Amino acid sequence: MKTVPIISAEKAASLVKDGDVILGGGFGMTGNPVNIIHELAKTKTKDLTFIANNVGEPNMGGGRLLNNGQLKKMIGSFFTSNREAVLAAQEGRVDYELLPQGTLAEAIRAGGAGIGGFYTPTSAGTLIAEGRETKMLNGKEQVFIEGIRGNVAIIRAWKADTAGNLQYRMTEQNFNRAMATAADIVIAEVQEIVPNGEIDPNEIHTPGCFVDYLVERKLTEEDLGSSASVGSSKVMDEKRMNMAKRAFAELKKGDVVNLGIGIPTLVADLIKPEDGIILHTENGMLGVGPEPKDGGGAMHYPVNAGKVPVTALPGSSYFDSADSFAMIRGGHIDVAIMGGLEVDAQGNLANWSVPGKPLLGVGGAMDLASGAKKLIITLRHTDRDGGSKVVENCTLPITDFNCVDMLITELAVFKFIDGQLTLIEILPGSTLEEVRKKTEAKFVELLPNV
């Protein structure tokens, strides 16, 4: 059995050269090789292309490379979690490329498997797909995505043996597993290195043949950023809870459900074990439980897609981001409940970008909108200026087309029946007259006893 060199974080950072393409593991700061990245930030290495789900957090992880001016380009899914990255992109100080989260994960997996590229329906017809080759397959427009490889992959695992076999912990697989296959040099930062044979072969997630160097560095709570403790800061008021309760009423026993951030997260608080509803989070977990009651953070608990620590219910499972989005695109998610910025009369959804605002990242929204069997959108009926968010035609960048099955606002519930926006219910505190007045889109009324 081979022996993989064990080196220092400083030595690992020195392996990165000017102009390299770097794959950086992690989802937020969870499973993030923060110690090596911070050592890289102490060097003069420059003109780097940094590929990761997001560019760390402000002055943490990839965020520190950004602030140092070491990045020439960033490629990722959700820059919004680091306002400094958004500002740098919008001001033109760094080049950037946005990919849907599942597309990014699959592109890395393809690159690691020696596959030149693939077609996906995710993002077809949207701004994200502009300039890319498209093709009609199985009656759907699909976008060609090239496989991604890097010069150096810097990843994080929980345990390694001296042969380089890696074991991940909880939701820390995320992008790490695919990235471990997709670079010329793979460096794994790990919590613990043990002798060969101490990791059961059944519990090895990344075989040692992919790994070139090991760095043993203990993780601390300070390395976890916003996931270090429970802090979802859920906004709960009567109108938001009414929307969450109405969305919950659509769920059936045995449903596999993905909840977006914002109002959809309130649905999780309504689910009881006897309901038999299985929550999925796109960063790699099935069977999501409530937030920890002891206030513990990602040092001891998995995190959800909002980077909030959660608990694992009996029967839960963990996997990586590529497998997670295979579940989504493959039609294995029964219901997705997401927030929105606009929904129009054709069932088109806009929920990822507002020109001029500090938003830059589509995350998993495009994959979920096109892949879930049923899509429920929750949004405020009007914006701060009183303008309708239920519009005749979306004016904001589209997430996906003809994808919305149900729309729930604080005023009303709409379904798309035979392709028509149809009002089916007035929520407490509202009236039909108010709904008519505040809805720009034309709709059919199908109310009981009216």
Give the full edge-to-edge strand order of the sheet including 140-146. Answer: 117-120, 140-146, 134-137
Other CB atoms within 10 Å distance of the CB of residue 437: 10
Q: Which of 39, 189, 282, 410 is catalytic?
A: 282
Q: Is 445 noted as a catalytic residue in this protein?
A: no
* Three-point CA angle 134, 139, 142, nearest 5°: 25
Give the pairing type, strands 256-259 and 213-216. unpaired
Q: What is the set of active-site residues?
A: 282
